[in-house]
Chains A and B, each alone.
Chain A
Amino acid sequence: MSLIQVSNLAVQFSRRKVLKNINLTLEKGSVTAIVGPSGSGKTTLLRTMNLLQLPSEGTVTVAGVTVDAKHISKTDVHKIRNQSTMVFQQFNLFKNMTALENVMSPLIYNKLAGFDEVKSTALGVLRNFGLESIADQYPVTLSGGQSQRVSIARAIVAKPKVVLFDEPTSALDPEMVSDVLTTIAQLAQQHITMVIVTHEIEFARQIADNVIFVENGEILAQGPANQILSTDGTGRIADFVNSLEKRVTIPKTPRANTGVVASRLRLLQSGTN
């Protein structure tokens, strides 16, 4: 069953079309990685899926709610955002709230439960992520890895159908990356529909069911991760994948949904040796 459908989508900034002729269908419970060079339109595509970026042409359908670029209604935007949420590159934790208050905020402000229930639910999510000890700390005192995991906790606490990740590890120090990737991998195992813009090719191979390759505002290819992200082929995508692989010197690791931390640590160790 498709959960997200994007049809004939285009996004235009002043005169420049940053996305054109985008068509894609994402199944419920699937994990999709969007990859491509910088400035290709990956993030813009992701942002159209919960309408932080409004489309100039085409339609976006999430969980049965369709928004058409020709007549965008505020109610439909809210309906879509009710089903999908986003994790940002720069975390964007509310600076005036503690980690716990950040995680409580979607439940409280969308009036999804009473205060006591909200607090215990939020604490439960933080506990699952191993973040209970920092619940009362403000974002400024948290490390990048902790901040991003709190922001993931905040994104999933209201049980959205879709979680969108915009380069969730790009702003992190290398030693923080594995914690965040592990957290995302945990969510993948819970069959939450996820779309991830990432440069972590190895990670994409391990957890993504599908990969969408975007270049110059268009989808160049989409399909199963092991097929699209293969280093054996020739052509533009293989060149791109190979260039990323070379950059971080990733050795071949077994493709599995488990053992992300171990393989990630091996990568880090091999990188420092």
Chain B
Amino acid sequence: MTFSWTYFIHLFPQLIKYIPLTLFMAVIAMLIAVVAGSLLTLVQLYAAKPFQLLVKLYVSFFRGVPTLVLLFIVYYGLPEISPAFKGVSALTAAIAGLGVKQSAYLIEIFRAGIASVDQGQIEAGEALNFSFLRIFTSIVLPQAALNALPATGNTFVSLLKETSLAFTLGVTEIFADGKLLASASLRFFEVYVAVGLIYWIMIIIYTWAQKRVENILSKPYRRVVANVIDSSQQSSRAI
């Protein structure tokens, strides 16, 4: 069987219909991860020791369990122990499972981001009689956020790809649709290459956007002034 370019190209209009759902899952799961991750980071840094230990346990568990197993626990397991989880849709379970899992990674990233802020910055705030909250929100957080941004972006990239596991719960997203198409046509190679390409393109676009954001946010921390680069480029062109 040869590679069918015609079939390959015709797959894209079909598959891209599911991009909004994939993005929806990734973005909502990321929001859950960021909110839960931020709160638990604060607990780990500033709460009483027993709470810190609980967060450590949380991080250890959710980093240690494979994503697929976690999704099955959430979707198939939880309804058995509590009726409250019985009506939960596969989509909700997938988003919640992915969000909670990634929050465990974000706790480590955020903690490292905060720890990387120079102690002198905090002392300067203390010496100027700023409150703890003010030092944290106006000095530590802006610098920590920038430090944590690249790794947080990587987490989102992983998350975007891991949404493909939602098909195992019965959610029809890009990968699930690809699987259906492949089963019907028996052209597995074309379909999965097309599915892979769509993920790749989404991630290229996201990575580009993240770089732009990083560039804007890191402006205060860059020694090189933009117009210096411009003028040096102009002079090299003139030569």
Contacts and interface: CB of A to CB of B under 8 A. Distances in A.
Interface stretch (B15-23, B56-64, B134-142, B175-183): B134-142
Interface string A73-89: 00000100110011010
A96 B220 contact: yes
A109 B127 contact: no
Contact of A96 (B128, B139, B222): B139
Interface in B69-104: none
Contact of B121 (A86, A95, A106, A110): A95
Contacts of B134: 109
B119 to A, nearest CB: 9
A57 to B, nearest CB: 22
A240 interface: no
B127 A86 contact: yes
A14 interface: no
Contacts of A52: 123, 126-127
A186 B123 CA distance: 25
B130 interface: yes
Contacts of B220: 95-98, 138-140
A139 B134 CA distance: 20
B143 interface: yes
B143 A95 contact: yes
Nearest to A84: B127
B130 A110 contact: yes
B83 to A, nearest CB: 48
Contact of B120 (A82, A88, A96): A88
A141 B127 contact: no
B223 interface: yes
A194 to B, nearest CB: 14
B221 interface: yes
Contact of A140 (B125, B129, B221): B221
Interface string B136-168: 001100110000000000000000000000000
B128 A106 contact: yes
Task: Indicate the size class of the contact surface on chain A.
Answer: 20 to 34
A90 interface: yes
A110 B134 CA distance: 10
A148 B130 CA distance: 20
Given A106-B129, A110-B129, A88 B223 contact: no
B130, B142, B143 — most chain A CB neighbours (10 Å)? B130
Contacts of A93: 124
B21 to A, nearest CB: 38
Interface in A142-164: 151, 154-155, 158
A32 interface: no
Interface string B108-126: 0000000000101101111
Given A95-B221, A96-B139, A88 B121 contact: no
B124 A94 contact: yes
Contacts of A50: 127
Contacts of A258: none
A44 interface: no
A105 interface: yes
A92 B138 contact: no
Contacts of B127: 50, 52, 81, 85-86, 88, 155
Given A50-B127, A94-B121, A138-B219, 4 more contacts: A96-B220, A110-B130, A140-B220, A158-B128
Closest 3 pairs (CB-CB, A-B): A92-B124, A81-B129, A86-B127
Interface of A: 50, 52, 78, 81-82, 85-86, 88, 90, 92-98, 105-106, 109-110, 138-141, 151, 154-155, 158
14 contacts: A50-B127, A52-B123, A52-B126, A81-B128, A81-B129, A85-B127, A86-B127, A88-B120, A94-B139, A96-B220, A110-B128, A140-B221, A151-B124, A158-B128
